[in-house]
Amino acid sequence: MTRKIAVVTGGNKGIGFAIVRGLCEKFDGDVYLTSRDVGRGESAVELLKCAGHSLLYHQLDITDQKSVDSFKNHLISKYGGIDLLVNNAAIAFKNDSTEPFGLQARETINVNYFGTLRICESLFPILRQDAKVVNISSALGHLSKIPSIHLKEQFKNKNLSIEELSELMRKFVKDSEEGNNVKEGWGESAYSVSKVGVSALSFVQQRLLNAENPNRNISVNAVHPGYVKTDMTSHKGVFTIEEGARAPLFLSLKSTYKGQFVWKDKKAIEWDGQLPEPY
């Protein structure tokens, strides 16, 4: 029997680390912790092994095509495919960051949206039957966080293509670099726009997979894990990383959802509806 394979990007700390730990406990197969920085990744793996868990490590920088190709080739040669992909790797500038907003926008979109898209485009062809893809989004990735009605309509277009979505992301970066992000209706959070992009990408991916071959039975969902105490939130969150991992683990292990925006309580909500509170 072919052994199942799970991959978590950005798994060396925070929610990603808690997801890896949860998968080590409950996933019936091999679990890969991946990280951009080898030292930090290997330290995280060692910590989990010392706690009695069995897992594997591979370097992965989702912004580097060579790194992505190397990982894909490793997976193909060793296993032939994968069964679970958790896209957790992301960045966020702090509220008091002094970098120009245009630069923040470019770097945030490059990692959070285009990096996620890059790893998906690489690994989707080797997703096995009944595979699951979990894209870690955010409450800030809810469509209500985009001020412009016109932009909202484009994001929720039922026939939106990946290239059209990517073009929206490029337009946000361009508008931000020109100082027009508020004027053009994007708002003032590059992280929010990046996660709206990740959420929208999830729905487009599910639609395309269904159209391509529904018999593969692959699920793609976006999830808001909650406001978690991590480096990304400067530890101002209200949930532990274990609590933040609950909904992603539910989607990874038990869920039958497809193409949904899932809240921290494991319930699917309307992405273009009213935003639940508290976050």
120-149 pLDDT per residue, tens: 999 999 999 999 999 999 999 999 999 999
Of residues 32, 57, 113, 191, which has the active-site annotation? 191
Mean pLDDT of 67-87: 98
Residue 279 pLDDT > 80: no
Give percent of the chain with pLDDT exceeding 90.
90
Paired residues of 220 in beta bridges: 133
How do residues 213-251 score in pLDDT, each as one tens digit?
999 999 999 999 998 877 777 677 768 989 999 999 999
Q: Catalogue all structural domains in the chain, each as residue range(s) with its CATH number.
A: 4-96+111-138+194-269 (3.40.50.720)
pLDDT at site 1:
62
The helix/strand/coil state of 275 is coil
Q: Residue 31: how many CB atoms within 10 A of its CB?
A: 27
Mean pLDDT of 68-86: 98
Residue 118 pLDDT > 90: yes
pLDDT at site 105:
98
The DSSP code sequence of 98-156 is -S-HHHHHHHHIIIIIIIHHHHHHHHGGGEEEEEEEEEE--GGGSGGG---HHHHHHHT
191 is catalytic: yes
The helix/strand/coil state of 49 is helix
pLDDT at site 18:
97
Across all residues in the chain, what is the average pLDDT? 95
